[in-house]
Amino acid sequence: MNIVLLGAPGAGKGTQSDKLVEEFGLCHISTGDILRAAVKAGTELGLKAKSYMDAGDLVPDELIIGLMKERFQAPDTAEGVILDGFPRTTTQAVALDTMMAELGRPLDAALLVDVDPEVIVGRLCSRRMCRACGYIGNVADGPVCPKCGGEMYQRDDDNETTVRNRLEVYAKSTSPLIDYYRGAEILVTVDGDRPVDEVYADVKVKLGLAKAEADCGCGCGCE
């Protein structure tokens, strides 16, 4: 299964991806994670990407498309991928279609995690992540990762000014992809402004990975 995850910064794409990986073992490709690792390692890609990322702007299409072409050569992508943060522009979406056609692996779904921008500002300013295992949490987790005991830190781009710019960039450059995938008849949407597990249950139903629970209407959860 090949899935594109769409949604504004902070909508919960990484959080839902982690749950899909844990339950179904899908291959998760996050361009943000790849770029942050490149910045940390001081590679040529990282040096080129850093200033864009710090400002909350998009890294140029040619760099991203080049890195994704390379990433798709790896054997772990053959059984299907969750693309988190790619594509982010129409140019990237067209390049992805070409790549998938060449590989004979069509996209099955573009899943939009839909959340109001004002909810997102609060979420991102309080997000904290684990340096060791990548766990995504928030300030309430404290300085120690609840999963592995690693150090929790705040991403450089999770400050209010940069978050607001990321939201503007999303509205201008990435949100047109909603219509792009609606036109391709593979768009599915979940309301991401609910508890994580509720969102995840809906994600699985919308991706055809679980059946919708029957609702007897009494609020008890029985069938």
Q: Which residues would be at the binding site for ligand AP5 (CB under 6 A)?
A: 7, 9-15, 31-32, 35, 52-53, 56-59, 64, 85-86, 88, 92, 123-124, 127, 136-138, 157, 166, 192, 194, 196, 199
For residues 99 and 196, which CB has a smaller minimum distance to ligand AP5 in the complex? Answer: 196
Shortest reach from residue 113's CB to ligand AP5, in Å: 7
Shortest reach from residue 203's CB to ligand AP5, in Å: 10
Shortest reach from residue 21's CB to ligand AP5, in Å: 13
Burial of 182 (0-12, 13-18, 19+ CB in 10 A): middle
For residues 23 and 216, which CB has a smaller minimum distance to ligand AP5 in the complex? Answer: 23
Distance CA 218, CA 221 (A): 8
Residues labelled as active-site residues = 13, 88, 127, 155, 166
For residues 7 and 112, which CB has a smaller minimum distance to ligand AP5 in the complex? Answer: 7
